Structure formats: structure tokens, C-alpha cells
Amino acid sequence: MGNRKRIAYYGERGSYSEQAAMQHFGKVGKLTGFRFLPEVFEAVRMDADYGVVPIENSTEGPVTQTYDLLLESDLKIFGEEIVRIEHCLIAKPGTQIRDIKNVYSHPQALGQCRSYLEKHRFNAIPYYDTAGSVKMIRDSALHDSAAIASRSAARLYKMKVLAKAIQSNKSNFTRFMIISKEGSIGKCDKTSIAFGLKNRPGSLFNVLKCFADNGVNIIHIESRPISGKPWQYNFYLDCEGSAEDAMIRKATSSLRNETIFLKILGSYKSA
């Protein structure tokens, strides 16, 4: 038991982050959930071996706080996991859909089920976690309310599934990052980078050209507002290959002349 990895994940038991953790680590990890994303990063910084946090959904887009925390933290991206998301409407046993007025869940899940919620004219109420909203309703006197979460959360908390697969997009996936104090070792085929642009014409073009000129394929690019600096942005980029590859080393070397800062968030094996 002493050799089991300590895994911190975002949310309560039954959350999709817990599912991603189990999918990635199997039975070799001792899992602990945390209510807030910064707590996961702090747990890994202090004593957990790894953390599991959501970063992007195929329907609703980025989990912006995760991007900000990756930039602020000294932790590295160790790996990634992709989980198919199938949302259920979950309520207390004995409850019928006609009884429901309010629906609680994480804002991302509410957005992913927007069409269903609007069709039934439910009041959507944000909560910190999908599974946490199921647990909250179970422990409350709310008989006119339901939660959006996974079927495993319904089973875990002994609640009733009123409707299955209520997400607007049936091909609904969330990408999770595995974070650790040390970077990944072994074969890596994906690298994540954060950078800030110089305030001059063509700066973003010049950055992208650094990758193109060195034959590096960019998979994803995301911009985030800089806190306290209106209309200024940091950028996050995923590309194919390892930071140790010659092509990426050449690209990042050129990037340092085009950016005000450059941070390698990690190289890892893609999901």
C-alpha cells in the first residue's frame, strides 16, 4: 500500500475528473478529491504525486482557470486523458421530471446541456462540481431540484436518473491534464507552451512562423486575458513532438526573440 501513488483530482467522488484519474492510473493510485482547482495544484505541490484537472471540453471550450493555474504554477504537465462525457438528469428517489424546477451543476455541464435545459424551461444554477451537485441535493430538502452529472455519480449517491444523454452534442468529450512536480519521462509526442507577445505588428504571425519554419505542427492555440491589463493576452499552444526534439528546440529558440516570456508547460504522451 505504501507504494501507491497519491492522486489529487478536482471534484467529489463520482466526478468526471475522478473518472479521468481512474482511466489514467487504474488501481495503482490513492485518489483524493478537492473542491477547488487551486487546491489540486496545492496538493500536488505539497504531497500528492499527481493531480488531474479538466482543461477543455469539445462543446463548451476551455476551462480558463486551469490555463491560468498552469501559468502561475511551477508544476509540469505529465500527461493527458480524454473522457467521453454523457450527462444525466439526477434527482432524489421518487422525484419525477414534472416536479423539477431548478437544475444544479458545474457551469461547463450546464452549458453542455443548454438545449435540454431550455426545452424544459429549467432554472440552471451553477455549482462547483457535477458530482458535488448530486451529493448536495441528496443531503438537502430540495425535492423540486435535480443535478446534471454522470450515471456513476447517481449510483454512488443512490439517486434516481430521470433522463440520460441530455448533452446537446452527443460527441461530447473533456480533456484532462495530469500534473506533477516533475515532467514526463519516456516517449513524449505532445508539448504545451505558454507565451506573451511583444506589442508590435505581426508578432503573432512571427511566432507561428517559428513553428512553420521548423516543421512543427501546431495542434491547438488559446488566448487568455492578462489579469489587470485590459485587452492584453497570454497565449497557450499545443504542438506535436517533445521539447527535446531538435525541431521544437529550434522553434522555441527563435520564439525567445519574438515573445516577452516563454514557458514550456510540459511534454507528454498524448491521449
Could you tell me the CATH number of the domain that includes residue 249? Answer: 3.30.70.260
Say if residue 205 is in the same domain as residue 247. Answer: yes
Q: Give the C-alpha separation, 46 to 43, whole Å.
A: 5
Gyration radius of the chain over CA positions:
20
Structural contact between residues 43 and 32, judged by C-beta atoms closer than 8 angstroms: yes
CATH code of the domain covering residue 28: 3.40.190.10
Residues 60-72, mean pLDDT to the nearest whole number: 94
Mean pLDDT of 103-109: 97
* Each residue's pLDDT tens digit, 245-255: 999 999 999 99
Q: Which residues contact 218 (CB under 8 A, 6 or more apart)?
A: 208, 211, 237, 238, 239
- Asked if the model's pLDDT at residue 61 lies above 60, the reply is yes
Look at the chain and report how many structural domains it folds into.
3
Residues 31 and 76 in one domain: yes
Q: Residue count of the chain, please give it.
A: 271
Catalytic residue among 25, 41, 122, 176: 176
Give buried/exposed letters for 57-84 (b at 16+ CB in 10 A, else e). bebbebbebbbbbbbebebbbbbbbebe
How is residue 261 written as a grid cell? 516570456
Q: Point out the catalytic residue in the list 66, 95, 174, 252.
A: 174
- 197 and 263 housed in the same domain: yes
Residue 176 annotated to the active site: yes
Q: Residue 172's pLDDT is what?
A: 96
The letter for the amino acid at 201 is P
Does residue 237 fall inside a structural domain?
A: yes
Q: Answer yes or no: is 27 within a domain.
A: yes
53 with 73, same domain? Answer: yes
State whether 196 and 226 are in the same domain.
yes
Nearest to 78 by CA among 190, 222, 235: 190
Q: Indicate yes or no: pTM above 0.75.
A: yes
Q: What is the pLDDT of residues 13-28, one digit of tens each?
A: 999 999 999 999 987 8
Position 185 in a domain: no
Please say if 34 is a catalytic residue.
no
Q: How many CB atoms within 10 Å of residue 118? A: 11
In this structure, is residue 204 part of a structural domain? Answer: yes
What per-residue confidence (pLDDT) applies to 2? 52
**Domain co-membership, 101 together with 157:** yes
> The domain containing residue 36 runs over which residues?
5-82+173-180
